[in-house]
Amino acid sequence: MKNVAENPIGSSFNSSSFNSTLDKRFGNPVMITLRYFAQLRETLHCSEETLQWQDDINTVAALKKQLSQRTSDKPNHPHNHSYNVQWQKAFNGNILCAVNQEIAQDNHPIQDNDEVAFFPPVTGG
């Protein structure tokens, strides 16, 4: 996983099934892009990242659940707990999701190459 924005301690999923994520045609992992905006971008210290698509994140709800349980890839790092708490709080709060730039509900599917964005209720105008 590659974080575009600075991310102090890195991150990873506690994930098992690597093989199921391989694109059968090319043997390449299937990727999705995640984007975060406004206070979510600030609290998570991340504006954009790519993530390997897996069977267990094939809907918005499933992806949100995974992200809310996110842990640092450096389990002994002193900031690990607060890192986990930040993701947990962010994804249990009132946030909206857009898949490919259109508002998506929890049951919306997530597929190869999708751009999935998370953000708070909008306040323009």
Q: Which residues bind other proteins (CB under 8 A)?
A: 35, 37-39, 41, 98, 101-103, 115, 117, 119-125
Q: How far is the CB of 76 from other proteins (least distance, A)?
A: 32
* Closer to other proteins by Cβ: residue 72 or 114: 114
Least distance to other proteins from the beta carbon of 121, Å?
4
Q: Are 21 and 29 in contact (CB under 8 A)?
A: yes
Q: Which is nearer to other proteins, 13 or 37 (CB)?
A: 37
| Residue 17 vs 101, nearer CB to other proteins | 101
Q: What's the min distance (Å) between Cβ of 119 and other proteins? A: 6
